[in-house]
Structure 1
């Protein structure tokens, strides 16, 4: 009986040790994400350090502002597009609700705006994004509605709570790349 009890306590210690490791990893990852979100105002205001001239000399090369007339204005426009895109991506990859696929629509919009802001030959930025978003919305909206309808059918039939159904429908990849792969 003594050996059996000792074996059980050793297994419990192994389980606690691995559980503590995964908890520590979650704390570290959460701290990194929280620090990134808290630093986004600083990321946005990096454009203030760009000179207000048409050419900007950097260690990566010379940047010449074609359409905007000023490198400072060009970086301001890029910051206006990049920061909401980054925050939306963080929200998408950290969201635990069943409706997180709806975040694909603003992510697609911010991506389109960011790419069009990079295209310096484009005369009118932020003009026709809704046209390009229609195919994405045509896929995301019905799928969200179907998931919602399936959840409410299960609520009425099984008597489960909303939290239990969210857990049932939640897809939980183990790694960051696993989360990315599930969408492609």
Structure 2
């Protein structure tokens, strides 16, 4: 697994500069399809924008999938940002790229940040204060059982 990840990271500069293989024309005819880029002026510019968003997203996804730290969920925020930007470059109806994507990330941040903060609190309590929540729950259940015995 480590070799595959290292290989995927190592080829990322080659993927990034792949846009240089595209023509500097508005239309690109291949034997499979015809690509037209009316919004960006040339296929070269469209490929440059797409790959410029794809490579960081690709590397962030690799980082998210291989990270073993407790805070790895925070990586979802820049992943979401680059995903929205990537879809903005693909969408033909968008006239301005990279302008309103930050507003789409706010709901994602409102979900992810509290979750990561709660994970941090649980770890902080366990490591720094030595509080084990499972043991605390077991002890509370034990006291509940004792109270039920006295009420009968």
2: CA distance, partners of 1:139 / 1:92: 17
| Counterpart check, 1:131 vs 2:120 | no
- The alignment partner of 1:96 has SS state of coil
Residues in 2 aligned to 1:116 and 1:144: alpha-carbon distance in whole angstroms: 28
Structure 1 segments of 4 or more deviating over 2 A?
156-160
Aligned to 1:157: 129
**How many residues are paired up?**
132
Superposition deviation, residue 159 in structure 1: 8.1
Q: 2:73 aligns with which of 92, 101, 107?
A: 101
Could you say if the C-alpha distance between residues 154 and 89 of structure 1 is closer, same or farther in structure 2, counting changes exceeding 3 Å?
A: same
Structure 2 CA distance for aligned equivalents of residues 148 and 68 of structure 1: 44
Aligned-pair Cα RMSD in Å: 1.4
1:72-111 alignment runs, 5 A limit: 72-111=44-83
Q: Structure 1 residue aligned with 2:30, among 58, 70, 73?
A: 58
Which residue of structure 1 aligns with residue 141 of structure 2? none
Query: Does the 8 Å contact 2:125/2:131 carry over to 1?
Result: no
Which runs of 5 or more residues in structure 1 are unaligned? Answer: 1-28, 161-184
- Alignment TM-score, normalising by the size of structure 2: 0.83
CA drift of 1:54 comes to 0.8
Hey, what's the Cα distance between the residues in 1 that align with 2:22 and 2:39?
Answer: 16
Q: Where does structure 2 lack aligned partners over 5 or more consecutive residues?
A: 133-152
In structure 2, the partner of 1:68 is: 40
Secondary structure of 2:103's aligned partner: helix
Q: Which protein has the larger Cα radius of gyration, Structure 1 or Structure 2? A: 2
CA distance in 2, matches of 1:73, 1:107: 23
In the alignment, structure 1 residue 144 sits paired with structure 2 residue 116: yes
- Which residue in the other structure is 1:34 paired with? 6
Partner Cα separation in structure 1 for residue 70 and residue 43 of structure 2: 42
